Chains A and B, each alone.
Chain A
Amino acid sequence: MNTHDTSRREFLAASLLAGAALAGCNTKNPFEKDAAEMVNPSGEMVKLLSVDGEVIEIDKAFLKPVPHLPAVSNDAARLGIGNKKFVMVIDLSRCKSLKKCQSACNHMHHVHPGQNWIKVYPMQDAEHTAPYWQPTTCMHCDEPPCVKVCPVDATFKRQDGIVLIDSDRCIGCRFCMAACPYSTRVFNWEEPEMEPEIAAQPYSCESSVPQKKGTVGKCDFCPDMARKGELPHCVSACPNGVFLFGDMLEDSVTNGAETFRFSDLIKDKAGYRLMEDLGTKPSVYYLPPVNRNFPFENAETKEEAKKS
């Protein structure tokens, strides 16, 4: 298996940055890490939002403005990032349903409590076959049924392969939810609860935040992170490296710690896609649950069995 050293370094740097980057402070944005050691604390504290979505307090002196990132316009967000074709590989042999991906995703996108963009299914294909865990995101289909049926172009396919939702345009007809065979879409049935600083953020379809009442939502492949050269939240949150994310054109995918040549990985490990027969052409590939790192243990069914 070939590792790509350059892109690996890039992504390692990116994940370091991810540890330091802070959102939620609009004008004086994130600070650089190495600068922190040289500054004397001023005693003046400011509240910030950490990558885990927690509000933390930090001395003001540690903040240093970085070059301003221009906000992506709606047109640019609809077009996508040039010369990219994003792809995800989910390695089922590594998953033990920790659901760290899910909680990180919910946190960062302020998904309504109870709803999830990432679902982790206990699967068993037939009576005598082995059970396994199957995390699902939006498949970012290349022939997306959801996009086909949307009457107002609120769900759209970008040239980098990502399928996004424009919550400023969505009329809430929910046709896309009926059309998506992967049941990945959720709906904001009520006014989403958010902290005021999040609600005050300008909406962008790339961050999907703030969520809007009466509109639909789903996994967005974190294009806002990709623009910064960083990995989606689920990828960096998973301690077992189940999710690999990358660019088809570069032919590489990474989970932050390991980087693989995408085509080799899929070939060697017999990767496949879900519901291939429907012709939706997903951008998410699965590696079969063979030689598994963990035995399959379903806490939910265990509890149920205990109860009864």
Chain B
Amino acid sequence: MENLAKQKVIQDLKPQQFGKRGMIWVGILLFICAVGLFAYIRQLSKGLVVTSMRDYVSWGIYISNFVFFVAISLVGSLITAVLRLSDVHWSTPLTRIAEIIAVAAITFASIIIVVDMGRPERFYNLFLHGRLQSPIIWDVIVITTYFFISMLLLYFPLLPDLNILMKLKEKTSKGLDKLYSFLGSFWKNTPGQIKINERAISILSITIIPVAFSIHTVTSWLFATTYRPGWDSTNFGAYFISGAFLVGAGGVVVAMYVFRKAYKLENYIKEDHFDKMGKVLVMLALLYLYFNINEFLVPAFKMKKPEEEHLVGLFTGEFAPIFWFAIFTAMIIPIFILLFKKGRKPLPAFIAGCLVVIGSWFKRYLIVTPTLLHPFLPMQDVPDSYRHYFPSWEEWAIAMGSLAGVLLIITIFARIFPIIPIQETITEIEEHENV
């Protein structure tokens, strides 16, 4: 490959300073985060009473947000591991996007779970007095593991790129340069190093798959290990994982579109990528639909007494609008958009991706709350406010703050590091030319 072309790739992909729009974007995110932080400080001083959660609905949008984050983080393993191992090359430019989504989401999953705790300052008890039979401890273990593997999967492929960035003539800024050399100055691009790095990445790609499956399976078990109608299901692990892959892939499509626009990456994130990701999305949406049918149709056929109230509430009752909204926006409409070749063009695919992500968020809410409003024994001897749930402004602020936090991490990461792997892109072009 000619040096000139190589230089162009580097110039195209190196991290760029925020433009005006970037600044506004970051400003908005920071503002939302700040409001969330303010709400959390209120919650810390007054207690969880500032939320709308009460004795019956003891888990609310914090927990559904947690499930959402864990779900979306699974995409890291889908794109980097599953596709990499199945020798799919078109996904190379997407690996880093997927991996940073994973790291950012899993970080905020951990944060939001601490936010949900009544006594966050006693977090250390999990290590001091942890009991292995509690699914929460399993979750702590697998999520930590997943976080570190994801970090490494982000870091190792970054090493050659850091080397390239350090060699750049026009320096970006002093601080960034220091950061690059701190992270990657030992990397000399020697064949030995490259070989070790490749091996490490493929080992990690294999190990992350069972870990990824465990994080979301264990998260589903937080619900499935209880007796409650709507949670007491053997389908839950698979149901959660299929949903997670769907929302994660949807998130990647959205991010692809935004980065492509913002950084003018049309030559790297091509229409073909949207086409392929669109197909992946259709497949995942169908898979999730399949598990949904399992999850709802089988109990609905029997209509056991405790299940009945819950199911009727979802199908035609209080939660019906959200329920059908979630089913349609997360699955049915995206399937219809993406089934057509025209629907897999960047813009419609982006819209479908947005629908998937939004619908999935509400889906998580439906998994958590309606069940809690239908206990075995009827709700009794409690104030009226305990019988309903609508999140308080503090809960909304904190939940939105955490979503903004995820976006902020991704945005800042893309400001500091190349969001499309430079070295891998070059190698791929070279290989292509040699063939």
Contact = CB atoms under 8 A, between A and B. Distances in A.
Interface of A: 102, 114-116, 119-122, 136, 145, 148-154, 169-175, 177-179, 181-183, 185-191, 213-216, 275, 278
Given A171-B118, A188-B47, A178 B58 contact: yes
Interface stretch (B82-90, B220-228, B251-259): B220-228
Given A171-B123, A175-B134, A190-B46, A115 B129 contact: no
A246 to B, nearest CB: 25
**Interface on chain B toward A: helix, strand, loop, or mixed SS?**
loop
B133 interface: yes
Contacts of A152: 122, 125-126, 128-131, 134
Interface stretch (B23-31, B234-242, B377-385): B377-385
> Which of A136, A169, A187, A278 has the most B CB atoms < 10 Å from its CB?
A187
Contacts of A278: 227
Given A187-B48, A214-B47, A172 B134 contact: no
Contacts of B387: none
A151 B136 CA distance: 6
A174 B118 contact: yes
Contacts of A182: 376-377
A213 B47 contact: yes
B55 A187 contact: yes
B117 interface: yes
A151 B55 contact: no
A206 B116 CA distance: 27
Nearest to A118: B381
Nearest to B125: A152
B114 to A, nearest CB: 10
B315 interface: no
Contacts of B123: 171
Contacts of A189: 47-49, 51, 53-54
B136 A187 contact: no
Interface in B95-121: 116-120
A213 B54 CA distance: 14
Interface in B163-217: none
B129 A169 contact: yes
Contacts of B122: 152, 169-172
A78 B119 CA distance: 21
A211 B347 CA distance: 56
B313 interface: no
B137 interface: yes
Contacts of B382: 114-116
The 9 A-B residue pairs whose C-beta atoms are closest, nearest first, are A172-B118, A214-B118, A190-B49, A151-B136, A189-B49, A151-B134, A119-B381, A190-B47, A177-B58
B385 to A, nearest CB: 9
B135 interface: yes
B372 interface: yes
Contacts of A214: 47-48, 117-119
B375 interface: yes
A214 B129 CA distance: 18
B119 A179 contact: no
Nearest to B56: A183
Contacts of A186: 55
A173 B63 CA distance: 10
B59 interface: yes
Contact of A151 (B59, B116, B130): B130
Most chain B CB within a 10 A radius of its CB, from A114, A169, A190, A191: A114
